Amino acid sequence: MDIDTANRTAVEQMMSARPMLTGLAPARSVIPDMKDNLILHAGPPIEWERMSGPLRGAVIGALLYEGLTKDEKGAVAMVEAGEVEFAPCHHHGAAGPMAGVISASMEVFVIENPTHGNQAYSTLNEGYGKVLRYGAYSEEVLEKLRWMNGSMGPLLKEALEQTEGLDIRALLAEALHMGDEGHNRNKAGSLLFLKLLSPLIAKVAKDEALEAEVLQFLGDNALSVLNPVMAGCKVMADAAHGVEGSTVVTALARNGTDFGMRVSGLGDDWFTAPAEIPDGLYFPGFSSEDANADIGDSTITETAGIGGFAMAAAPAIVAFISGTPQDAINATLEMYEITIAEHDHFTIPSLDFRGTPTGIDIRKVVELGTTPRINTGIAHKEAGVGQVGAGLVRPPKAIFEEALIAYAGRYNL
Amino acid sequence: MDIDTANRTAVEQMMSARPMLTGLAPARSVIPDMKDNLILHAGPPIEWERMSGPLRGAVIGALLYEGLTKDEKGAVAMVEAGEVEFAPCHHHGAAGPMAGVISASMEVFVIENPTHGNQAYSTLNEGYGKVLRYGAYSEEVLEKLRWMNGSMGPLLKEALEQTEGLDIRALLAEALHMGDEGHNRNKAGSLLFLKLLSPLIAKVAKDEALEAEVLQFLGDNALSVLNPVMAGCKVMADAAHGVEGSTVVTALARNGTDFGMRVSGLGDDWFTAPAEIPDGLYFPGFSSEDANADIGDSTITETAGIGGFAMAAAPAIVAFISGTPQDAINATLEMYEITIAEHDHFTIPSLDFRGTPTGIDIRKVVELGTTPRINTGIAHKEAGVGQVGAGLVRPPKAIFEEALIAYAGRYNL
């Protein structure tokens, strides 16, 4: 078995996957094996008892949103009575930012990859302030979810029916030339998303006030494209998964307690270790004392060669996450050391249009002791407070070492 | 008289000017001294006999568009009979890209500067292909002008009435963090413009098909914000004009034959010399043999501290105008040598958020022999062919020398 050939196959499949946003539908109607009492969450599997504050808050919020219970106490009682099932988004072809909670009646974007025939799913992005993904579940949060799923959702669904699909890979490629890195900074990508959607929305909208509200919401939310981008990265990473003998990472994901990883040639096993507190800039009034451990499936962006790996494309991001523009360039340069390829489609103008570092090789990570650089939002450790900052984090080294040991065992090396 | 103090005053006024896009109206109703038989054009004054192909073509197109004549022959006859008057856009508070032609019934954006109380005007941008600004005047060109001014215009006008004004300086500041330089690359700025306009359009649109068409047109045209940006730079540059003793440049403009300049402390005189052929990348099938001499008022962007002066913010532009990302950084660094200030509002992330080089000092240009770097589109030298490339150009040194001599004469130095 030639590991390098296997890795080249995996990364070629990752890069040739072509995520197309083709529609919007309720989770229960499109996500495989979705059920009314199933809550999907970010990161590797975790039971209620070990869930962090923001993930618990988002679970409570989802049960309230679904109308399965009336209040927080009822939600906790349901969970403790074993009436609620939990599973990672990743086990159901989905990816969710921060807590990453998806429940049955939430609308999800459908991303199809015509090159390899796989799909992925993600919810609508909630924007800023008190939001479910940071574990908030007040009436204000639920009200916004109802508006997003009940009012904006049907309009977006009808708009998307006017097209053959929106090319998320092309959108990302363009956004990287416009100062985005695709994870923490999606300003340009969200505007490109608005540009693609707005004429489609205009064609189908009946209610002018709702139309104006939706265009305003999408335009004001510089993360509006984050969720479809994550599902886009998920179909790319999944296309690289399951290549016999490959040491390429195909999922990095955090549930707020554990950091988990999957590797192409190692089946569906998760390699996990405790998630760390990100380093970064905190909003006024908050410090690292308030921070929850690293959380969210958005590390699927780094897995697919963007996010922290494309920092050099996004010098303006340092005002948000700390550091200097030179640090941003160095972050990308460092990631070339632990990856297999330079991306065919995602290029960085300031590095003479070099492709982004793509396809993390667990062998290189262990050999060099250099772990992936991840851009991330930082959640308050208590449910319902919300975002307290943004910064940088790295996965624990232990998961790469565990994976390499498992690899040696599986392939009798 | 302290020249440095005068220059500091001029550049402070340039930077504190705050261009607000407040509306859209027919040129005849808002541009001072506009008349039905007056054609405004880019650059310094020029008579018909000396006009280049693209400017002549645009004049013919405007006379046809106004219905003042039936065909090209009739247009030329009118001009030769002295029935048409010409004046620079700059003499009427306006700025026009390439040929820069404005006629009485064209809709123009109104930009107000509440800081100093001055205004400026610019037409709607036509997008790509056969367009009046490159001297094309076929029926297809006139049809598009009729649609823009007769269908899109009223919708934009009504949309703009829903707001107190759109802050063009803030838009530019953000666009410079998104890979634009504001002259040849306005991808991000045009999307930010769409973001601001789309909810306003949705509120007032009655006709869904027109609304969809307008949103599509604005979104597909990565230059849609260029014209209001130029008028924005015009109010900034005008705010710096007329400071006694100042050697700061307040207008750089080309009519396709001559390159003209105005200086803050030298009144309304133009210093002119023959315009040069830009260096750049040509579209397939064209070469510098086909190029017209440098044309357009868009050099008002460099005058105000963006465009070629902000190249370091826009590394991706080199794929369009030639050169490397390092050349783009060097272009900006070179411009610090001939300017008075670093802009308070326009900053460049990759240069550690340094302000753009702002306020060209004719003394420094002459002393160092370094002329301003200008990004530009390249027009075919024959009327009606259109754009053949994009590239870089510099003003002739002679105009800075002439201006310095005039300065010495005026101020008895």
Which among A178, A194, A202 has CB closest to B178? A178
Inter-chain contact A191–B191, Cβ cutoff 8 Å? yes
Inter-chain contact A350–B350, Cβ cutoff 8 Å? yes
Q: pLDDT at position B50, please?
A: 98
Q: pLDDT at position A61, please?
A: 97
Would you say A67 and A276 are in contact if contact means Cβ atoms under 8 Å apart? no
B350 in reach of chain A (CB within 8 A): yes
Average pLDDT of A318-344?
94
Given a cut of 90, whether residue A153 has pLDDT beyond it is yes
What's the rounded Cα separation, in Å, for the pair B388 and B380? 6
Q: Measure in Å the smallest separation between the Cα of A177 and chain B Cα atoms.
A: 6
Q: Could you identify the residue written with the tokens 């492709």?
A: A355
Per-residue pLDDT band at A60 (split at 50, 70, 90): very high
In this prediction the pTM is 0.96
B202 in reach of chain A (CB within 8 A): yes
E-assigned strand segments in B114-208: 118-123, 166-167
Query: 3-class secondary structure for B349-368?
Result: HHHCCEEEEEEEEHHHHHHH
Pairing of strands A38-41, A85-88: parallel
* Beta bridge pairs of residue A23: A110
What was the ipTM of the complex prediction? Answer: 0.95
Inter-chain contact A199–B219, Cβ cutoff 8 Å? yes
Pairing of strands B271-274, B279-282: unpaired
Encode pLDDT of B403-413 as tens digits: 999 999 999 98
Name chain B contacts of A202, Cβ cutoff 8 Å: 202, 205, 208, 211-212, 215
Q: Scanning every residue of chain B, which has its alpha carbon at the shortest distance from the alpha carbon of A175?
A: B178
Given a cut of 80, whether residue A1 has pLDDT beyond it is no
Residues 6 or more apart whose CB falls under 8 angstroms from that of A183 comprise A226, A298, A301, A302, A306, A307, A308, A374, A375, A376
Q: Could you identify the residue written with the tokens 């205009």?
A: A202
Average pLDDT of A1-18?
96
What's the rounded Cα separation, in Å, for the pair A201 and A158? 8
Encode pLDDT of B38-54 as tens digits: 999 999 999 999 999 99
B188 in reach of chain A (CB within 8 A): yes
Given a cut of 90, whether residue A319 has pLDDT beyond it is no
**Mean of all residue pLDDT scores within chain A:** 97
* Tokens coding A193: 């998303």
Encode pLDDT of B235-266 as tens digits: 999 999 999 999 999 999 999 999 999 999 99
Sheet holding B118-123, edge to edge: B118-123, B107-113, B20-26, B166-167
Q: pLDDT at position B205, please?
A: 96
Average pLDDT of A333-340?
98
Q: pLDDT at position B146, please?
A: 98
Go through the domains of chain B in sequence order and give each one's CATH number: 16-230 (3.90.1710.10), 240-410 (3.90.1700.10)
Inter-chain contact A350–B208, Cβ cutoff 8 Å? no
Per-residue pLDDT band at B383 (split at 50, 70, 90): confident
Q: pLDDT at position A383, please?
A: 86
Q: How far is CA A13 from CA A2, A270, A363, in A?
A: 17, 21, 20
Q: Scanning every residue of chain B, which has its alpha carbon at the shortest distance from the alpha carbon of A212?
A: B199
Name chain A contacts of B353, Cβ cutoff 8 Å: 319
Residues 6 or more apart whose CB falls under 8 angstroms from that of A283 comprise A387, A388, A389
B213 in reach of chain A (CB within 8 A): yes
What's the rounded Cα separation, in Å, for the pair B326 and B317? 12
| Phi, psi dihedrals of residue B368, rounded to the nearest 5° | -90, -15
Gyration radius of chain B over CA positions: 20
Encode pLDDT of B69-103 as tens digits: 999 999 999 999 999 999 999 999 999 999 999 99
Inter-chain contact B179–A349, Cβ cutoff 8 Å? yes
| Signed CA dihedral, B243, B248, B251, B255: sign only | positive
A199 in reach of chain B (CB within 8 A): yes
Which among A187, A202, A351 has CB closest to B212? A202
Q: pLDDT at position A222, please?
A: 96
Given a cut of 80, whether residue B310 has pLDDT beyond it is yes
Check residue A277 and report its DSSP letter: P
Q: Which of A162, A166, A194, A195 to mutate to test the interface with B (most CBs of B within 10 A)?
A: A195
Above pLDDT 90, what percent of chain A?
A: 96
Average pLDDT of A108-118?
98
| Phi, psi dihedrals of residue B377, rounded to the nearest 5° | -80, 160
Given a cut of 90, whether residue A386 has pLDDT beyond it is no
Name chain B contacts of A207, Cβ cutoff 8 Å: none
For the stretch B75-107, what's the b/e string if a residue is b when 16 or more beta carbons lie within 10 angstroms of its beta carbon? bbebbeeeebebbbbbebbbbbbbbbbbbbbbb
| Signed CA dihedral, B368, B369, B371, B373: sign only | negative
Considering only CA atoms, which of A305, A167, A304 is closest in space to residue A241? A304
A158 in reach of chain B (CB within 8 A): no
Inter-chain contact B199–A215, Cβ cutoff 8 Å? yes
Inter-chain contact B325–A350, Cβ cutoff 8 Å? yes
What's the rounded Cα separation, in Å, for the pair B330 and B342? 16
Name chain A contacts of B220, Cβ cutoff 8 Å: 195
Would you say A226 and A1 are in contact if contact means Cβ atoms under 8 Å apart? no
Residue type at position B365: V
**Mean of all residue pLDDT scores within chain B:** 97
Which among A199, A209, A351 has CB closest to B215? A199
Q: Measure in Å the smallest separation between the Cα of A159 and chain B Cα atoms.
A: 11
Check residue A373 and report its DSSP letter: P
| CB count in 10 Å sphere of residue A211 | 25
* End-to-end alpha carbon distance in chain A: 11
Considering only CA atoms, which of A255, A254, A260 is closest in space to residue A50? A255
Encode pLDDT of A270-295 as tens digits: 999 999 999 989 999 999 999 999 99
Average pLDDT of B141-161?
98
Encode pLDDT of B183-192 as tens digits: 999 999 999 9
Q: pLDDT at position A129, please?
A: 86
Query: 3-class secondary structure for B282-337?
Result: ECCCCCHHHECCCEECCCHHHHCCCHHHHHHHCHHHHHHHCCCHHHHHHHHHHHHC
Which among A178, A208, A209 has CB closest to B179? A178
Residue type at position B33: D
Q: pLDDT at position B331, please?
A: 96
Name chain B contacts of A352, Cβ cutoff 8 Å: 324-325
Given a cut of 80, whether residue B361 has pLDDT beyond it is yes
Per-residue pLDDT band at A212 (split at 50, 70, 90): very high
Given a cut of 80, whether residue B1 has pLDDT beyond it is no
Using CB atoms within 10 Å of the CB of residue B287, give its burial: 0 to 12 exposed, 13 to 18 middle, 19+ buried: exposed
Vertex B324, ends B322 and B328: CA angle to 5°?
90
Least confident of A168-177, B34-43, B312-321: B312-321
Which among A199, A208, A220 has CB closest to B212? A199
Which helix (H) or strand (E) covers residue A281, if one does?
strand A279-282
Size of interface A-B (CB pairs under 8 A): 99
What's the rounded Cα separation, in Å, for the pair A331 and A342? 15
Sheet holding B279-282, edge to edge: B279-282, B387-393, B374-379
B219 in reach of chain A (CB within 8 A): yes
Q: Measure in Å the smallest separation between the Cα of B332 and chain A Cα atoms.
A: 14
Check residue B281 and report its DSSP letter: E
Which residues between 70 and 89 in chain A have a beta carbon less than 8 angstroms from any beta carbon of chain B?
none
Put residue A256 in one of left, alpha, beta given phi > 0 → left and psi -120 to 50 → alpha: left
For the stretch B250-270, what's the b/e string if a residue is b when 16 or more beta carbons lie within 10 angstroms of its beta carbon? bbbbbbbbbbbbbbbbbeeeb
Higher pLDDT pick, A137 / A320: A137
What's the rounded Cα separation, in Å, for the pair A13 and A338? 18
A209 in reach of chain B (CB within 8 A): yes
B189 in reach of chain A (CB within 8 A): no
Q: pLDDT at position B322, please?
A: 85
Given a cut of 90, whether residue B386 has pLDDT beyond it is no
| CB count in 10 Å sphere of residue B306 | 32
Q: pLDDT at position B77, please?
A: 98
Q: pLDDT at position B379, please?
A: 93
Encode pLDDT of B170-187 as tens digits: 999 999 999 999 999 999
Q: Measure in Å the smallest separation between the Cα of A118 and chain B Cα atoms.
A: 30
What's the rounded Cα separation, in Å, for the pair A24 and A107? 6
Would you say A249 and A265 are in contact if contact means Cβ atoms under 8 Å apart? no
Which helix (H) or strand (E) covers residue B72, if one does?
helix B72-80
Considering only CA atoms, which of B338, A75, B43 is closest in space to residue B58? B43
Per-residue pLDDT band at B384 (split at 50, 70, 90): confident
Inter-chain contact B194–A191, Cβ cutoff 8 Å? yes
